[in-house]
Structure 1
Amino acid sequence: MHQKILVVETNIANFAGTNHLTGLWLGESAEFVTVMEHAGFTIDYVSPNGGYVPLDPRSMKDSYVNDETLKTYLTNDYQSRGLAATLSPQQVNPADYAAIYFTGGHGVMFDFFNNQPLQKLALSIYEQNGYLCSVCHGIAGLLNVKLANGNYLITGKKITGFTTSEELLSGNSKRVPFLNEKVATSHGADFQKGMPFKSFVVQDGHLITGQNPASPKEVAEKLVANLKNKKD
């Protein structure tokens, strides 16, 4: 039984063509990691280019960072492997992982959606009976994954992610290259929605997806429960 989890983060610091800052939404990585590490799992970090991961400055506000998240964020391990020197997809062997988790932040909208190396990693982990997880905008990493038969992996599956109404409320709907909910639906997914900005998580088989920045803890807890059951 593999006890390693692969966390995927963005390399993008700005909305394309603008000076408007984005990046990784800290809590969507650190909150998830905190739960997984407390449960005894080992974390590796990957990004489309490897190396440095910028943080969305808005995600650093006190209202978004709880004590546990801050504690994880301040560790040398998280600062180095999680933010300064992430792996590139080519350095990752999918056979080592029980699950892959796509973090959010608006940056991912620009470097997850069409990233074939990441899609290959996700598919390999899924095909070896691993779990595909995402939160918020991170669903962009799963929208284009195709099965061996050419069908989208999400077709006919219940999933969730940052909704169109949340995108409008966030004030960034004009800055993003596409809307996750719209693409998910056009690729045949059964897109589920909870209340805006409240934790909401959906599981369909080996897919576990969270709607927004309030959801990473619940995604992690659901994944832990599944992996512990599998092990027992």
Structure 2
Amino acid sequence: MPKALFILTSHDALGDTGKPTGFYWEELAAPYWILSDAGWQVELASIAGGRPPADPSSEEGDAMTDEVRRFQADDAAMNRLANTEKVDDVQVDGCDIVFLPGGHGTMWDLPTSKPLGDLLRTAWEKGAVVGAVCHGPAGLLAARLSSGDPLVKGRRVAGFANSEEDAVGLSDAVPFMLEDELKAQGAQHEKGPDWQSFAIADGKLVTGQNPQSSAEVARLMLEAADKPAVP
């Protein structure tokens, strides 16, 4: 059975706003079920280990999708979520996909995690698919290849757009603008219309713009997992 590793944020505070944050449910649940239903074993890890925090807003209104309900009703899935392995302790050997769900929490702890950066470098250089959606690509900023170059340098990458951050009123709350920082590391940032599904694959690197892109990112990761590694 092929194996995928999902790595979640452990950060629960939205800057200085006094509001909670964490991972975004749809961005975990939709890819989880697409891969699981395709016969993949999905393991969950997080920066700090244990039960990672969820953004409360990702359980409200239209954000509460059928996939989220299915995840929350599944005892095995919820048990995995309650007992995630700490990223420092994760062995990436045997993982054919490493995926970073988003949520605003990722903007604080993923880019500064050396263990995450090392794990992503190892996964990438051994030919695994590396995927991320929405704010999840913030974790890609932690990754440097053995050459010293950023993993995203020269590659087509999507992520939460500046216009979407402005639209949700959090441009002053986040530590940086994801679109800008991806470009600063040499990524060829691409985007579609706000709040519309937009996902791209550049070889084994698969990224999506927003929560609406989660399912398409998962499908592209499955396609990329069947392709030869790109140097």
Please tell me the TM-score bracket, short chain as reference.
over 0.9
% identical equivalent positions: 32
Q: Which residue of 2 aligns with 1:204?
A: 202
Q: Which residue of 1 aligns with 2:14?
A: 15
Tell me which amino acid in the other structure corresponds to 1:123.
R
In structure 2, C-alpha distance between the alignment counterparts of 1:12 and 1:58, rounded to whole Å: 15
**In the alignment, is residue 93 of structure 1 matched against residue 91 of structure 2?**
yes
Q: Which residue of 1 aligns with 2:173?
A: 175
Q: Which residue of 2 aligns with 1:25?
A: 24
For residue 228 of structure 1, report the CA deviation from its aligned partner. Answer: 4.3
For residue 11 of structure 1, report the CA deviation from its aligned partner. Answer: 1.0
Q: Which residue of 1 aligns with 2:151?
A: 153
In the TM superposition, what are the counterparts of 1:8-157 in structure 2 within 5 Å?
8-82=7-81, 84-157=82-155
Q: What do the CA deviations read for 1:60-82 (whole angstroms, capped 9, x no partner)? A: 01311222331122211221212
In structure 1, C-alpha distance between the alignment counterparts of 2:227 and 2:15, rounded to whole Å: 42
Tell me which amino acid in the other structure corresponds to 2:158.
T
In structure 2, C-alpha distance between the alignment counterparts of 1:222 and 1:35, rounded to whole Å: 11
- TM-score, L = length of structure 1: 0.94
For residue 229 of structure 1, report the CA deviation from its aligned partner. Answer: 5.4
RMSD: 1.3
Q: What do the CA deviations read for 1:77-130 (whole angstroms, capped 9, x no partner)? A: 221212x21101232111120011011110010110110101111111111100
- TM-score, L = length of structure 2: 0.95
For residue 213 of structure 1, report the CA deviation from its aligned partner. Answer: 0.6
* Number of aligned residue pairs: 228
Runs of at least 4 residues of structure 1 off by over 4 A? none
Moved more, 205-214 or 63-72: 63-72
Is the contact made by 1:11 and 1:107 (CA closer than 8 Å) also made in structure 2?
A: yes
SS of alignment partner, residue 44 of structure 1: strand
SS of alignment partner, residue 124 of structure 2: helix
Query: Which blocks of at least 5 consecutive residues in structure 2 are unaligned?
Result: none
In structure 2, C-alpha distance between the alignment counterparts of 1:92 and 1:195, rounded to whole Å: 36
SS of alignment partner, residue 98 of structure 1: strand
In structure 2, C-alpha distance between the alignment counterparts of 1:151 and 1:102, rounded to whole Å: 20
In structure 1, C-alpha distance between the alignment counterparts of 2:224 and 2:149, rounded to whole Å: 26
In structure 2, C-alpha distance between the alignment counterparts of 1:7 and 1:142, rounded to whole Å: 13
